[in-house]
């Protein structure tokens, strides 16, 4: 399959993007917020404003509890929660607001056998490849039910450590390729700064985008998808290749600018 380059936001005609947009979807880590950190008050204001104008989706490799901590806890009463679509663990789960709480609408969990086998393989190959850090901050391997995630430095590693560990993604990509070869019936993606994710094949961010389009009765090419991992090995790439209006950002500072551009045109 030919590799396509996803444009950065400054390369796009934002008037045209605003005219076409029916839904805006975001990655979370390093797009709305730095890894495992709550999004800023400035970002919360932009997301709340967008929810009053257009359906907003969060499609992230992280589990729902992190979406709650990083996004939901930062929103005030001005956000239209009825207009939000939460798709954690790379779209393998989906949550909607029912008026009083977030309700899980679906979950595509891995089998117990696959989860056990992937967990064992992650540790074995990480040790073989020298990626099993002597010191880790929190869990290295997390069973999220619908996704197994390996975090080389641990889930709670400092952001500075994470960002310095594998800046060119080479370490993660080798580990991901090894797992993909061992489990061809599963989907393996290089995730965040230090992570690799394994889930059911066919249920990834592209699946989430197509499911979202069907549920909202909008064409995929009317969904704006904003993310930082738009390289072919990144977990945002499938969402871009699904046919969305894909926008590549380098961090939350870019996302704030994109949000301002969209709010101005949608208002």
- Which residues have CB under 8 Å from 139's CB, separation 6+? 151, 154, 155
Q: Is 236 a catalytic residue?
A: no
40 annotated among ligand-binding-site residues: no
140 assigned to a ligand binding site: no
The catalytic position among 15, 19, 29, 233 is 29
228 labelled as ligand-binding? Answer: yes
Cβ pair 23, 216 in contact under 8 A: yes
Q: Is 250 annotated in some ligand binding site?
A: no
- Residue 183's CB: how many other CB atoms inside 10 A? 17
Q: Where are the beta strands (DSSP E) in the chain?
A: 23-26, 56-59, 84-87, 93-97, 102-107, 141-143, 147-151, 186-190, 195-200, 223-227, 245-248
Residue at token pair 């009053």: 52
Cross-strand bridge partners of residue 248: 8, 227
The whole-angstrom separation of Cα 43 and Cα 33 is: 8
Q: Which candidate in 15, 27, 68, 204 is catalytic?
A: 27
Active-site residue, 76 included: no
Cβ atoms within 10 Å, residue 267: 9
- 254 is known to lie in a ligand binding site: no
Q: Which residues are annotated as a binding site for alpha-D-mannose 1-phosphate?
A: 144, 195, 197
Q: Which residues are annotated as a binding site?
A: 27, 29, 144, 195, 197, 228, 244
- The catalytic residue positions are 27, 29
């Amino acid at each position: 399959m030919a590799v396509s380059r996803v444009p950065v936001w400054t390369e796009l005609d934002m008037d045209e993007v605003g005219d076409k947009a029916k839904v805006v979807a975001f990655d979370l880590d390093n797009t709305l917020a730095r890894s495992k950190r709550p999004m800023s008050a400035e970002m919360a204001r932009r997301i709340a404003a967008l929810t009053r104008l257009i359906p907003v989706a969060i499609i992230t490799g992280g589990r729902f509890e992190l979406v709650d901590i990083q996004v939901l806890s930062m929103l005030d009463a001005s956000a239209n929660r009825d207009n939000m679509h939460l798709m954690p663990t790379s779209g393998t789960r989906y949550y909607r607001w029912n008026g009083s709480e977030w309700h899980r609408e679906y979950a595509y969990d891995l089998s117990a056998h696959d989860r056990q086998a992937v967990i064992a393989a992650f540790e074995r190959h990480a040790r073989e490849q020298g990626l099993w850090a002597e010191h880790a901050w929190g869990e290295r391997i997390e069973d999220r039910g619908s996704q197994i995630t390996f975090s080389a430095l641990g889930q709670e590693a400092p952001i500075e450590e994470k960002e310095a560990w594998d800046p060119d993604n080479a370490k993660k990509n080798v580990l991901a390729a090894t797992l993909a070869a061992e489990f061809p019936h599963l989907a393996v993606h290089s995730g965040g700064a230090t992570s690799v994710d394994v889930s059911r094949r066919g249920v990834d961010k592209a699946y989430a985008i197509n499911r979202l389009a069907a549920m909202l009765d909008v064409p995929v090419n009317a969904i704006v998808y904003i993310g930082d991992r738009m390289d072919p090995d990144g977990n945002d790439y499938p969402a871009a290749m699904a046919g969305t209006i894909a926008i590549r950002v380098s961090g939350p500072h870019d996302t704030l600018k994109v949000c301002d551009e969209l709010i101005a045109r949608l208002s």
